[in-house]
Amino acid sequence: MDDAGVVLLFRDKAYLHPEKVVDLVRRAVPLALSPDNDSRKEELKKLQEKKEQIDKLAHKQVRRILWSGLGFFMCQVGLFFRLTFWEFSWDVMEPIAFFTTASGLLVGYAYFLITSRDPTYQDFMERLYLSRHRKLCGKHSFDLEKYLELQKHCKCPLEGHYSHGPKFHEL
């Protein structure tokens, strides 16, 4: 029965379903030890290229949003400067400047209440990047779970831990 492939004898034990044992061994052994012509390696390579494109596009969109925010605040300062020194006086502009600043503080506090994280620019940038990345993955039909699974199976056992992709500051 062992020669026929119906039963598998291994270390004085008989396994009645050798196909299940083979499947478990295939899952346990990394794909890096499998033949070079394995279709999963090709699929991982395609997914890596697609992910790199999505990462670059998300980074580009976040940078555009951040530069737009800088432009908005520069225009606001310029407008306040113009209104304070040419159009009106400080007596008129002081309450407007106060309520604008207080509104900014309220927005920061609301961000903290909603996200339970400090309202820092770095945190905002990373959250914005992850948000854009998720939307782009959905738009381009990119399966991140499948990518991570293939990456886990294809890594060489001699390599260190695999990364989950580049961080925003590494791009």
Q: How far apart are alpha carbons 151 and 29 in whole angstroms? A: 13
Q: How far apart are alpha carbons 55 and 140 in whole angstroms? A: 12
Please give the average per-residue pLDDT across 42-63, as a whole number: 90
pLDDT digits (tens, 9 = 90+) for 125-169: 999 999 999 999 999 888 888 888 877 776 644 444 444 444 554
**Chain centre distance of CA 6:** 46
pLDDT over 80 at 7, yes or no:
no
Whether the CB-CB separation of 65 and 124 falls below 8 Å is answered with no
pLDDT over 70 at 35, yes or no:
no
Q: How far apart are alpha carbons 111 and 105 in whole angstroms? A: 10
The first and second tokens of residue 11, run together, are: 């270390």
- Which amino acid does the sequence have at 29? V
Please give the average per-residue pLDDT across 2-24, as a whole number: 69
Among 25-29, 77-81, 154-158, 167-171, the range of highest mean pLDDT: 77-81
Whether the CB-CB separation of 166 and 60 falls below 8 Å is answered with no
14 DSSP β-pair partners: 9
Q: What is the band of 21 on the pLDDT scale with cuts at 50, 70, 90?
A: confident
